[in-house]
Structure 1
Amino acid sequence: MTSEHDVPADVLERFSFYARESSALTILFHSRVAEQMGLSPTDEKCLDLAMRSDGPITAGRIAELSGLSTGAVTGVIDRLEKAGYVRRVRDPHDRRKVLVEVTLVDDRFGHLFTGAQETLREVLSLFTPDERDVLERYNKTMIETFRRRVIEA
């Protein structure tokens, strides 16, 4: 029994190709950004996670969001701290906890993302607002599902 939402093999193959190609380009882009920042790609992405949090973040939360082990995240934080991007601070509500606080407050690296922002603007301008709503729904669902699968792995 099939439903109207079943995904034909050819559609799955096409979208798998798009996902792999997008992933490869994203990795290459962030590898270049990381290199210009003097970081590894993993360190740059963990810094990005910390920068997108609402404030200081625990190492455990970085591990959850990144899918890395807590031991690997400790090494990432050590390197980010040594490079001056973050510092460890005590949690003001629980002095036993250590938080990671981003210290990079200037916009030294904003220019590295200008091209990506312009690409996004250019591509989104090709779609109607209703089409962008569908794209947004697809992206949110893909991110949530993929994050869950990566974290559970």
Structure 2
Amino acid sequence: MNGEINRVVHGFAAQQGLHATDVQALAAILDAEEPLTPGRLRAHLGLTSGAVTACLDRLERAGHIRRSRDTVDRRVVHLHYVHDARRTARAFFRPLATAASEARSQFTDDQLAVVVRFLATLNDELAVVREAAPESTPPHTRLTGA
């Protein structure tokens, strides 16, 4: 499943002239409940500040995001998904949502509850594995605890 989703993501990235990491950044910006800052995006993606800046520059040049300064603290930058770019992404990824809906329709609610419980448990176990492997944690987050 991850392989197929990754292939779709790479297809979108290639179509838009972006890197796969750029698409991860777009997803984080789109999913955020409030505008992300470059620092929070850096921590989320586990990238260096320079890598995040390069990623945001590519996304801005491609017309996917815009940056704005906070009205209270002008040093703070907020990241916003551009409306037309959001429409483009939704159109590209709509078949994924349709496929998920089609797959879901083939199971009862009780069966889906078991699947959801399994996936949540697996996700929790994978987080334990990740947290126990210090080499998998980016150095800058290990030092700061971010």
Instruction: Report the TM-score when normalising by structure 1.
Output: 0.72
2: CA distance between counterparts of 1:33 and 1:132? 29
Amino acid of the structure 2 residue aligned with 1:55: E
- Give 1:47 deviation, angstroms: 0.8
Partner of 1:108: 88
How far apart are residue 27 of structure 1 and its match?
Answer: 1.4
The CA RMSD over aligned residues, in Å, is 2.4
**2:96 pairs with 1:133:** no
Match 1:94 to one of 70, 73, 77: 73
Q: What percentage of aligned pairs have identical amino acids?
A: 31
TM-score (norm 2): 0.75
Asked if the contact 1:63–1:70 (Cα under 8 Å) also holds between the matched residues in 2, the reply is: yes
Q: Relative to 1, partners in 2 of residues 1:89 and 1:142: Cα closer, same or farther, differing over 3 Å?
A: farther
The 5-angstrom pairing of residues 1-150 of structure 1 reads 22-105=1-84, 107-143=87-123, 146=126, 149=130
- The answer (yes or no) to whether the contact 1:34–1:40 under 8 Å persists in 2 is yes
Extract unaligned runs of 5+ from structure 2.
138-146
Shift of 1:49: 0.9
**TM-fit CA distance, 1:79:** 0.7
Unaligned stretches of 5+ in structure 1?
A: 1-21
CA distance change for structure 1 residues 118 and 72 in 2, over 3 Å: closer, same or farther?
same
The CA distance in 2 between the partners of 1:41 and 1:90, in whole Å, is 27
Q: Distance in 1 between matches of 2:46 and 2:24?
A: 11
Could you tell me which amino acid in structure 2 is paired with residue 34 of structure 1? A
Separation of aligned partners in 2, 1:147 and 1:35? 30
Deviation, 1:76, is 0.6
Worse overlay, 72-81 or 102-111:
102-111
Alignment check: 8 A CA contact 1:55 1:101 kept? no
8 Å Cα contact 2:16-2:62 kept in structure 1: no
User: Closer, same or farther in 2 for the Cα pair 1:113/1:97, shift >3 Å?
Assistant: same
Measured against aligned partners, the alpha-carbon deviations of 1:124-149 in whole angstroms (never above 9, x if no partner) come to 11221122122223334444554672
State the 4+ residue runs in structure 1 displaced beyond 6 angstroms: none
